[in-house]
Amino acid sequence: MDFTYTALTIGAVLVLLSIVLTAVSSRVGFPLLLLFLALGMLAGEDGLGKIPFQNYPASFLIGNLALAIILLDGGMRTRADSFRVALWPALSLATVGVVLTVGITGAFAAWLLDLPLWVGMLLGAIVGSTDAAAVFSLLNNSGVHLQQRVGATLEIESGSNDPMAVFLTVALLEITMQAESGFGMTLLISLVQQFGIGALMGVGAGFMLLRAVNALHLAAGLYALLVCSGGVLIFAATSAVGGSGILAVYLTGILLGNKRLRNKQGILQVLDGAAWLSQIGMFLILGLLVTPSSMMHYAIPALIVAVWLTLIARPLAVWVSLTPFVFSVREKFFISWVGLRGAVPIILALFPMMAGHEHAQLLFNIAFVVVLVSLMTQGFSIPLAASICKVEVPPEPEPAQRMALEMPTHQEHEIFIFLLDEHTTATNRQVRQLRMPAESRIAAVFRGNQVLYPNGDTQLHQDDHLCVIGHTRDLPDISRLFSTIATPEHLDGHHFFGDFMLDGSAHLADVCAFYGLKITLPPDAPDITLGEYISRRFGGHCVVGDKIREGGAKLVVAEMERDEIRKVGIKWLQEPL
């Protein structure tokens, strides 16, 4: 009984410390996942806590449970329009990119460590994929707002490349344990089975979970638990029948996040906390599992492998995988750099440990060093890398709070809360002067201790809290009226988008004639619009922030609606004629 209370006390203290230290970490730019990992190591056998922990099956169980929750949460936050610009590049990275990374890293590791080639390839498979937990966490908490093509590619890649890494790890483990000569037809069938069953279960069972959530009338707090338990069930059931549970739960999350879902905002809030707890628990356990003193012998070769993976293998794989797609050199460099390794390589390194592989300890120690190096270098440098590669865009304003209206006929309407400041468009203006979307209304104004129910003559003041009811699709337009966000000077709207804006539907010939732009019109489309001309240059899939330099000016995509360019910023590269 004493052991139970002691274990609960230690676990609670470690989680509390992790949560409290996140506030300090965010201020100094310290990667949170590295913090959790360091706390686990500090509490471990070689640290101050002196806690002996070598339970690999328990670590594997906790790691998989945490990964399922993190992927479910990440999938629900992946917007469907991200697939418009990033699906095929991300899938290329998740398949071709992983295989190339495994091959390049594995061959080098086998030579460096004097290992059999297939064992080197096994190490390459263990560290070959980017980690969803690391990518989701560091991108969301770095304060960097990435251009959609780059951000979506990284998110979808990290959520979908783990199945390939798991397959390659298991296959190569079988080869090295059974002294097989290489990949055979059985393994290829297994690959198709993993991805096929994973995709079918993710979509099919995801639809069943979606219908269950929308059909059942439950207490508000139970919807999130239903989604969490359903996601874990899909993950476990898919894995049990030979499919990729990782792929299935990620697809389930995408499906739930992009369909009409009862109490969606409440579910996302609870999932956010569950994902944080999963990350904390997973990295604390993995930190406890490590004995730093036993890793010193492998430190130098492991560091060399990490450098090779980061600077050679990952960039080459990214460059080859993204060659068929429209990515600039800067975008490729950034995607290459943000090849974050996290919990997944450590979890995969547990496979050889539990199988009794003769090189298991070597593989585990090197994988752990690779993760440490990745979090310490790439994790710290994301804001700097984004600035250097110029893949940032100005952040969109958003409400302080939002909640869905749970009404049968208004399920796409929400309540938004805004705080007006001195820079907000609506400050010091009457309600009648605001050009609000047709289905939006200011329901109440909270001014000091007063509650006002505004009419057209009501003037809005700085520090007013507004309660706005509006349609979800109108949130960007509503936010631009009632919210502002502090941005660095280089991301200020006028500096970023140019000296002025034009409508994307303006005819390019008219624009060139009026402003003196020296742009050659396409012979097959003399009446082409400005938006269509830019869209052609990017293969028909532009995103905000895309830019071209032509005719003495820089043309910047400033506003999109689906695949249509609505606004284009113009910045002169030379004085107009």
Beta-carbon contacts of 297 under 8 Å, excluding residues fewer than 6 positions away, are none
* CATH pick for 401-482 out of 3.40.140.10, 3.30.70.1450, 3.40.50.150, 3.40.190.10: 3.30.70.1450
pLDDT band at residue 185 under the 50/70/90 scheme:
low
DSSP tally for the chain: helices H, then strands E: 23, 9
Fold topology of 2-49+56-389? Na+/H+ antiporter like fold (1.20.1530)
- Class in CATH terms, 492-572: alpha beta
**Amino acid 487: pLDDT:** 67
pLDDT per residue over 459-474, tens digit each? 999 889 999 999 888 8
**What is the reported pTM?**
0.84
In angstroms, the CA 383 to CA 415 distance is 33
Burial 121-159, CB ≥16 within 10 A → b, else e: bbbbbbbbbbbbbbbbbbbebbebbbbbbbbbbbbbbbb
**Minimum mean pLDDT range among 83-92, 217-226, 479-488:** 479-488
For residues 458 and 462, what is the distance between their CA atoms, to the nearest angstrom? 13
577 confidence band (pLDDT: 50, 70, 90): very low
Domain layout of the chain by residue ranges: 2-49+56-389, 401-482, 492-572
Convert the pLDDT of each residue in 9-63 to its tens digit.
877 887 888 777 776 665 555 667 777 888 888 887 777 777 787 888 888 888 8
CA distance 153 to 307: 23
Q: If pLDDT is split at 50, 70 and 90, which confidence band does 511 have?
A: confident
- Tell me the pLDDT of the chain averaged across its residues: 84
Q: What is the pLDDT of residues 201-242, one digit of tens each?
A: 999 999 999 999 999 988 888 999 999 999 999 999 999 998
User: Which tokens is 86 given?
Assistant: 């990033």
Mean pLDDT, range 157-163, rounded to an integer: 83
| pLDDT score for 16 | 84
Considering the chain, what percentage of its residues have pLDDT values greater than 90?
23
Tokens of 156: 């979808």
Q: What is the pLDDT of residues 117-149, one digit of tens each?
A: 989 999 999 998 887 777 777 777 767 788 888
